[in-house]
Amino acid sequence: MDLGITGDEIKLMSYTDEWKKEFSKVKHEIQENMHIEANRIEHIGSTAIEGMVSKPIIDILVAVDDLNAVGKSIIDGFKSIGFLRLKVERPGEIIFAKFTDSTFQKRTHYIHLVEYEKGIWNNLIFFRDYLSANEEAKGEYINLKLDYAKKHSAGIKNYTDHKESFVKGIFQKRK
């Protein structure tokens, strides 16, 4: 399995069951090393949706009761299984990444640490479940991604921005 992207590259791959296997492996590591309950660890993002094209990065949603109470023990716990906290600032979310080596160039996994059953948690799970159940929406999202990737081989921020209105439109269906 060719997991990970380097720097600013845009690389999309066809769905593979290997992504679910990798998620299960990491979920087990999180449970074993950090004692986080199974129902607070979810596979999200495009690698969690059968038939979806995706960047080959495993997105994992992990929930705590209070993000403001996250301390050194949680950060060190993720570090002990290879995840480093990123300097990315997002309201209501702390981001961790796993890299292939000490150059920190190729990212293979993201952990999105959020509050359990609050807005971000609910939106991200709804998005995954909605696209998994709705072939028309899934096809629209695939086309949106492929159209962008055909024109650009780099520019991950622009790629994310390109998808934003579609993603927010799906979030709105939850309300």
Report whether pLDDT(1) > 90: no
115: CATH? 3.30.460.10
Q: Report pLDDT digits (tens) over 128-167.
A: 999 999 999 999 999 999 999 998 888 888 899 899 999 9
Report whether pLDDT(4) > 90: yes
Number of domains, the chain: 1
Whole-number average pLDDT of the chain = 95
Alpha-carbon gap, residue 12 to 145, rounded angstroms: 8
Alpha-carbon gap, residue 32 to 26, rounded angstroms: 10
Cβ 44 vs Cβ 125: under 8 Å: yes
pLDDT attached to residue 152: 86
pLDDT attached to residue 155: 86
The pTM for the full model equals: 0.95
Amino acid at 138: K
pLDDT attached to residue 116: 98
Report which DSSP code applies to 66: -
Report whether pLDDT(24) > 80: yes
At 74, list the tokens. 């949680």
Average pLDDT over residues 119-124: 98
Q: Report pLDDT digits (tens) over 40-69.
A: 999 999 999 999 999 999 999 999 999 999
Query: What range defines the domain where residue 125 resides?
Result: 5-173
Alpha-carbon gap, residue 40 to 149, rounded angstroms: 33
